[in-house]
Amino acid sequence: MKASLLLVLVCAAVLAAGTRTDTPKEPEALVKKVQEYAQKAVAMAKSAFTTVQESEVAQQARQWLSDNANLMKERLARLKEQLVELWKPTPAK
């Protein structure tokens, strides 16, 4: 869930809580309702993130990254060695 979506949900909660409040003299009730809506939105976002993290695609991606990390390190080391050799001054004859 994107942060912008979470912001929209919080704004909607504020508007909904404002329309449900009986009188404008009850800011505590409004704050309490906004906090409840925000807690629900956070719980939904956490649930969505957990679902994504536990998905099979995410697990496969993590496995692929861990499998290929050493290969990438070796390739970068080899590239670094080649660049060092390339920049070495050649002896004058």
Q: Looking at residue 14, what is its pLDDT?
A: 73
Q: Looking at residue 31, what is its pLDDT?
A: 84
Whether the per-residue pLDDT at 77 is higher than 90: the answer is: yes
- pTM (predicted TM-score): 0.42
Could you tell me the residue ranges of all domains in the chain? 1-54, 56-87
CA–CA dist 30, 32 (Å, integer): 5
CA–CA dist 93, 59 (Å, integer): 58
- pLDDT tens digit sequence for 7-53: 777 777 777 766 655 555 677 888 888 899 889 989 998 998 888 88
Confidence of residue 86 (pLDDT cuts 50, 70, 90): confident
